[in-house]
Amino acid sequence: MLLSTPTLCLSSKTTFFFNSHSQSLMKSFASKTSSSLGLDAHEITDVDAAISLQEWQGWGTTSPVPSMVNQVIRDLRLLEKDIEPPMEFCGNHGTLSGGFKVEEDKKHRAKYATLSNSEEKIQFFSARQIACRLLGSRGYLCQKCWLPLGDCICSRVTMCSLWHGLRIWLYMHPKDFLRQNNTGKLLWQVFGVQAAKLCLYGITEHEELMWNELKRAGRNKVWCLYPDKNAMTESVKDIVGCSMNPECQVANEDTTMHIILFDGTWSNSGAMFKRLQGRSASEWGEQLRCISLNTGVSLMHKLRPQPSWDRTCTAAAAIGLLYELQQVPEFSTFGLDKQAEAIENALEVLLEGLVSRRLRMGRSISRKERHNRDIC
């Protein structure tokens, strides 16, 4: 966690509401979850355990409630009934604590060891991360800006319409979900959840929704923003060349351009990029194309420095993308510069909110610089 806060323990003795969505491919895996934890599925009702659709979508997503996330929540509640220590969370991101953490850690490690392939392991890892963050953040974080309720910045963030010919996907790692200093959340705060869509790594419901839209658009309308040193990257001008070229157009395909931004640490983004390219090769027989930007240092660098100066936060990457698209004559009339400014303003508001919180808590607002050898 890059931006620390005082330890705060929260008990999860709150009633949950049930959403019945479940995918058939998850059923056998979900049943293995409870049985491997040694729990009786009849000890607690679904209405006591699950998260509602309204609550789930309130965090910034349009998907159904992930069935595996609900299963993990049920298993946590069942375990809580089975042992003495209550379920408690410390910090801002739903980290389990105390005696319950010790017992749950044993159970989930045993469960993980029974999973037969890497895909099941990724899905279980992601579901568990998200389930814990949801439980620990309830009643503590604002669902829109992901800051503590007393530090909510929502009233100071101004919404703006994104050009209809562009859709942004936030491919987010579970460890960045509900993270206070995450900047990707600003994109759907400003542009709305239909224009800037959240897709959580390892969550089947999210990934399938994204890929369904990408397949409708076709590979020629999809790019990912990632500095892949092992592949040839394209510039923003190359995007225009393909999107406007009749040879790149296919009958009955969506004309919207889809840009995928990776939202996670640089080490986690590598695994996400590999997963995305593997799916692309499976769907189209080719990998997705990468685009590069000429980005500068983000405002957030002071609070959460990047591994090197040529890397930036998610919101700053989106700002750079929009500004570079604005410089292309074919896109100059779509007001992309104004849309970039809207994200810049929101980023300033987020930074001010985080700085104000740190000062109030008596903490430093400067972070130790890293990789000083990279600075000219």
**Is the pLDDT assigned to residue 301 strictly greater than 90?**
no
Place of tokens 């969506």: 254
Give mean pLDDT, residues 190-206: 97
Closest CA to 108 of 28, 29, 204, 36: 36
**CA pair distance 92, 126, nearest whole angstrom:** 18
The full DSSP string for 194-207 is TTEEEEETT-HHHH
Is pTM, for the whole model, over 0.85? no
Place of tokens 């850690």: 105
Q: Where are the beta strands (DSSP E) in 107-244?
A: 166-172, 196-200, 222-225, 233-234
**CA pair distance 338, 73, nearest whole angstrom:** 42
> What is the reported pLDDT for 309?
43
Q: pLDDT, tens digit, for every residue of 123-178?
A: 999 999 999 999 999 999 999 999 999 999 999 999 999 999 999 999 999 999 99
Binning pLDDT at 50, 70 and 90, where does residue 312 land? confident
Can you read off the two tokens belonging to residue 86? Answer: 């209550």
* C-beta neighbour count of 37 within 10 angstroms: 19
Can you read off the two tokens belonging to residue 370? Answer: 């890293």
**CA pair distance 248, 86, nearest whole angstrom:** 58
Q: How far lies 195's CA from each of 61, 93, 162, 189, in Å?
A: 11, 26, 7, 10
> What is the reported pLDDT for 274?
94
Give me the phi and psi of 77, to 5 degrees please: -70, -35
What residues are paired with 295 via a beta bridge?
none
Name the residue type at position 7. Answer: T
**Is the pLDDT assigned to residue 270 strictly greater than 60?**
yes
∠ CA 112-64-133 to the nearest 5 degrees? 50
Give mean pLDDT, residues 40-61: 72
Please, what's the b/e burial string for 194-217 (b: 16 or more CB within 10 A of its CB; e: otherwise)?
ebbbbbbbbbbbbbebbbebbeeb
Give mean pLDDT, residues 24-50: 46
